[in-house]
Amino acid sequence: MLTPNVNLQNKTVLVTGAAGFIGSNLVMELLRTVEPIHIIGIDNMNDYYDPAIKEYRLREIKTLAAEHPSSEWTFIKGNIADHALIDKAFADYGFSVVVNLAAQAGVRYSITNPDVYIESNIIGFYNILEACRNHPVEHLVYASSSSVYGSNKKIPYATDDKVDNPVSLYAATKKSNELMAHAYSKLYNIPSTGLRFFTVYGPAGRPDMAYFGFTNKLLRGETIQIFNYGNCKRDFTYVDDIVTGVKHVMQNAPEKVAGEDGLPIPPYRVYNIGNNSPENLLDFVDILQQELIRAKVLPADYDFESHKQLVPMQAGDVPITYADTSALERDFGFKPSTPLREGLRRFAEWYHEFYQSRN
């Protein structure tokens, strides 16, 4: 196991995408477990999905921050594609650790709205890298995605597999992030770690994700479409497991060492963070419907069969995602382990509280 070499106490940490699903949960975990800490959050609060959920997450952070007065929480509404804003934030705050989670997410949306992916995922990440170059940090951690594995046939996916076959622009931008980070690590000795997340889910998640979208549609009496006729498997990873993995990584920056030529060996790593246990989509839907009934989101006599439609695979999707997490276990003694039913139960209970019990 690695010995932590970055102490987060008394440090100033930047979390981009702080009102996002993973970002907000990471901020709250840091506030709960590291004192004192100063966290700066940046998010553009766009309307890719319901901004009310982002506002809810920010309220949760604000409430938690008030319970930890020795720490500081500062939120900046802004876009990482705004070069001047990012450079000013780095100059003003002097970040020790940067966690870049801001990105335009979604495989399907990238097919119809490519521009925003180039702006956020390429230009935005370039701005973060340039700022880390001009205002050196102890560690840059950034979100990649399981999508980089594209049409790879070998499973489970390991970080030393070739990832040269993206099947969506979103995947291509995430692979580009890894290449850009490697180049900046080599050129400017910036310690950086990329994290390939696998199908993250949980309470207050992204409404564009299947489990959330299915719930919305079922509640409206609409039909849900299950792609590839149900023959898809996903490595569903509960958000708390993702955040635990990110926190481990933040505290372990790749070491700066020189090669035989005297030049820096890039202080660069990539990890998978996934559940290492892919679930069939039909089984997933079955567990989801049970938990929605249990949480009283849907009535006990709901007719699921009449609201399910099996359809072909759609562009940009892959039939299976499956993470090899052996490197994560080797270096941190950690492996995501939240059972799917437990995670979906927490989501269903949150959904009932957020949308229904307040009405």
Question: Which are the catalytic amino acids?
Answer: 170
Residue 289 and residue 281: Cα distance in Å, rounded? 12
Q: Are 151 and 321 spatial neighbours (Cβ–Cβ below 8 Å)?
A: no
At a CB cut-off of 8 Å and minimum separation 6, what does 332 contact? 1, 2, 245, 248, 249, 252
- The torsion region of residue 353 among left (phi > 0), alpha (psi -120 to 50) and beta comes to alpha
Residue 273 and residue 209: Cα distance in Å, rounded? 18
Residue 194 and residue 174: Cα distance in Å, rounded? 10
Residue 306 DSSP code: G
Strands 224-226, 308-310: pairing kind: parallel
Amino acid at 156: P
Q: Are 244 and 161 spatial neighbours (Cβ–Cβ below 8 Å)?
A: no
| Tokens linked to 188 | 């400017």
Q: Are 101 and 22 spatial neighbours (Cβ–Cβ below 8 Å)?
A: yes
| Tokens linked to 254 | 């790749």
> Nearest 5°: phi and psi at 216?
-60, -45
Residue 98 and residue 131: Cα distance in Å, rounded? 10
From residue 349, give the alpha-carbon distance in Å to each of 59, 226, 338: 19, 23, 16
Single out the residue of 355, 211, 221 nearest to residue 283, CA to CA. 211
Residue 312 and residue 36: Cα distance in Å, rounded? 51
Single out the residue of 62, 8, 75, 61 nearest to residue 36, CA to CA. 8
